[in-house]
Structure 1
Amino acid sequence: MLEKKKNKVNRKQAKALKIANKDYEAEEVDLGSSSCLLVCNAGLMTGASRESLLEKLASYGSIERIVLIPGKSFSFVVYSEKSQAQKAVENINSLEGENEIILVTINKVPVTSEENYSMEYPPGCYLYPNFINQNYEKQLLDFFLGEFQDVDEKETLKNRQVKHYGFEFNYTTNDIDADVPLEEGIPEICHDLFNRLVHKESQSNIRSL
């Protein structure tokens, strides 16, 4: 079992190193010879964040930099001391069970920090800052939190609760049954939100799909 886990870890390390080397000239070096680490299986593509990485790695020493790059399933971490990076690798990679993160000591991290990477949104996706004010936001939150108190058990999924309006969503087909509308329509509190969306769509000349 330990040999199987070791092989799995080695495969993840090799895969991440190959991409990091090609894109950023990062190379594996001897343990304890560098303060730079490659986090092989935690990046923006896997849902990692600065906070989640700090939570797992800060106990091993002072972290100077964390680099998370859009579109990548790995990230980079730099400790203040080489000994701290070594301690992190030795402790994290030896954990029993499924490794949440896998580390490799590398020669360097990308010169450009994560703050300088421009976040590109998928085609058709737009971000409108302050689309609604705080008062309306609170009204929406209060309304839906109240609705969730009466959510049917069948509408409770593994990691979240759901509430359907207009039509029932079928998680088997990943679609709605348009021929069977629900008695409960769209809540009135959402009407203003929809009007704003329609107005924005018209302004931006966004075509609905």
Structure 2
Amino acid sequence: MGLPRFSRPKGVDGELSPNLYVANCGPAVGLSFDTIASVFSTFGEVKGVYPADDSGARVIVSYFEESAAQAALKALDGHPCPALGGRFLHIRYSIFQPPSQVNDSVPVSLVDSELNIPGIYLLHDFVSAKEEEELLAAVDKMSWKSLSKRRVQHYGYEFCYEVNEYPPGVGLSPHIDTHSAFEGFIFSLSLAGPCIMDFRRYTEGVWPKSASSSDMSVEYPDKSSSFLRRAIYLPPRSMLLLSGEARYAWHHYIPHHKIDMVKDSVIRRGPRRVSFTFRKVRTGPCQCEFPQYCDSPR
């Protein structure tokens, strides 16, 4: 079950509510949810503390009673809070959004067997901490090519993005690596920082007519299409293998977040994440069992 969702207040005072939007407060500024709940519980029973967005510096404090929220807002808004390191909190009321108004979140798996997607394998601690350090040092000695939001290094064919560097909050749009360009397995080694990788399988064929073998991937279809969805946590030094159905029929992507929720725990992405991606260039037409996702001529 996903965490409850709340709307960010739009007015100065907002609408009276048992839920408070609290800025300058959260894991990104060194305050745990337990610490925040303990401080706010002096005004009444706290139902829960939740991330307000992906920043890690804003939270929702949810009370059982509106009177408790009102008392907390009056006492803490715009004043230094000694119990929270003297921070000045900026507080407004927040409104709970019923499930019909938001997209349902998906549970994040820690191991590949929980995904129920044939062909996905995740190996933890594939390299040691020392090997990770040596690999990062090696790539940092080489030249990077800047894209719109991340940097890459190429080995082999130019469109083979063999090394990708992701700054905090930068992800990857949903895509399937083109069938006509690459054959066999796809390996991805995560270094330096963690992330969440999502997988979607759409119910209809998705390959656009304009695709060609020079494209690395194609981002299709639009968000209105129906799909199955899964997600897995990729810790540093882990190796992800995509094969079979997972490689040829499921879109994969990395959400653009600075923090991720994993089993109700907040995981903040590191200052960088470097992905070593290994693919084999195809020399003949694709003969996969998923023609509705395939761009290769039959």
Q: TM-score range by the shorter chain?
A: 0.3 to 0.5
Looking at secondary structure, tell me which structure has more helix per residue. 1
TM-score w.r.t. structure 1 length? 0.40
TM-score w.r.t. structure 2 length? 0.29
Structure of higher RCO (CA pairs closer than 8 Å, 6+ residues apart): 2
Looking at secondary structure, tell me which structure has more strand per residue. 2
